Amino acid sequence: MTVWQTARFAIRLDRPQVMGVVNVTPDSFSDGGRYVDAAGAIAHCDALVREGAQILDIGGESTRPGARAPGVEEELHRVLPVLRHAVGLGVPVSVDTSQPRVMQAALDLGVDIVNDVRALQRDGALDVLAGHANAGVCLMHMQGEPGSMQTTPGYDDVVAEVREFLTARLCALRARGIAANRIVLDPGIGFGKTVGHNLSLLRRQRELLDLGAPLLVGWSRKSTLGAVTGRPTSQRQAVSVAAALLAVQRGAKIVRVHDVAATVDALALWRAIEGDLEAEEE
Ligand code: HH2
């Protein structure tokens, strides 16, 4: 059975896993400012676990197009109290950050996973993960930086280029002695990609399944879903659930979502029909 090895938990990937998003930010694209105080974010962690989140992903930097990165002290101030609470909830906890100092502090607190939209490319990030024997890591593809990534995204073949990037990052981690079963990969929906690029990544997602690591995807409430439906972020729950389901059907093992309860229900139906992922593959 495939597992994602993380600091405290070996996460079974024979069934789809729902990662619930907790943004401790004033400016996230769909829920910015709702959970910026620690008490609100902590209550949100509790609520997502009650709704059935199997992993919590907690971040203090908005990476929405045009976002300005907070300083490292500000990011630590936002996330540490929330992470401290979340590690007591009995589910794996992930920190969504690109800052090595935030990664280090989080892992020292007992956080299980580092989710980095910059795929550990900042100086010192690989060292932090190499120094934590069991921590899990998610490596995501992004073209450019949040401040400018949606200005002119361009690819000859988006799927081939995402494949190439993720393969290179996976090799870089393996070369530092990070075990393959600690790593998951993410095509980075909405990160330096047009609507067409994002839809191609879902249509052709199966081409990303043989890279040597499980796939995590985050479609939740993203603007491509707004382009398809004409709906604002606050009304994208149904289409987000549909996107998560399509991603799982095409082989994703983990879906990163805001609307946990609705996604858990949809995946319960999917499992009732399809069975466990690996049973299907056998
Ligand atoms: N998307 C966002 C943030 N982190 N991490 C991974 N691995 N994959 C994603 O698709 C992904 C991510 C953006 O969503 P959100 O956190 O809701 O917004 P913001 O970055 O504005 O806080």
Annotated domain spans of the chain: 3-281
User: CB of 23 closer than 6 A to ligand 1?
Assistant: yes
Rg (CA), the chain: 17
Q: How far does the centroid of ligand 1 lie from the alpha carbon of residue 119, in Å?
A: 13
Which tens digit of pLDDT belongs to each residue from 27-40?
888 887 788 889 99
Which tens digit of pLDDT belongs to each residue from 189-211?
999 999 999 999 999 999 999 99
Residue 193, token pair as written in the block: 């990609």
User: CB of 75 closer than 6 A to ligand 1?
Assistant: no
Long-range own/partner contacts, residues 121-130 (CB < 8 A, 24 or more apart): 121/169, 122/98, 124/100, 125/98, 125/100, 126/172, 126/173, 126/176, 127/100, 128/100, 128/103, 128/104, 129/103, 129/173, 129/176, 129/178, 130/176, 130/177, 130/178
Q: Would you state the pLDDT for residue 277? A: 58
Q: Would you state the pLDDT for residue 15? A: 94
State which ligand 1 atom lies nearest to the alpha carbon of 190.
Answer: 10
Which of 17, 79, 140, 216 should be mutated for ligand 1, with most atoms under 8 A from CB?
140
pTM for this model (two decimals): 0.95
CA 234/CA 210 separation, integer angstroms = 35
Q: How far does the centroid of ligand 1 lie from the alpha carbon of residue 279, in Å?
A: 30
Q: Would you state the pLDDT for residue 32? A: 78
User: CB of 259 closer than 6 A to ligand 1?
Assistant: no
Q: If you classify domain 3-281 with CATH, what class do you get?
A: alpha beta
Helices (H), the chain: 38-51, 72-86, 100-109, 125-130, 158-175, 195-203, 223-229, 237-249, 260-274, 277-281
Is 222 annotated as catalytic? yes
CA 82/CA 79 separation, integer angstroms = 5
State which ligand 1 atom lies nearest to the alpha carbon of 258.
Answer: 17
Q: Would you state the pLDDT for residue 152? A: 84
Q: Would you state the pLDDT for residue 281? A: 53
Residue of minimum CA distance from atom 9 in ligand 1:
218
Is 256 annotated as catalytic? yes
* Tally of CB atoms within 10 A around 19: 28
User: CB of 99 closer than 6 A to ligand 1?
Assistant: no
User: CB of 28 closer than 6 A to ligand 1?
Assistant: yes
List 169, 193, 222, 236, catalytic entry = 222
Q: Would you state the pLDDT for residue 282? A: 46
Q: Is the dihedral of CA 33, 37, 43, 46 positive or negative?
A: positive
How far is CA 209 from each of CA 4, 41, 42, 167, 251, rounded to the nearest angstrom? 15, 34, 35, 11, 7
User: CB of 240 closer than 6 A to ligand 1?
Assistant: no
Q: What residue ranges of the chain have pLDDT lower than 70?
A: 276-282
Q: How far does the centroid of ligand 1 lie from the alpha carbon of residue 282, in Å?
A: 32
Q: What angle do CA 250, 233, 22 make, to 5 degrees?
A: 75
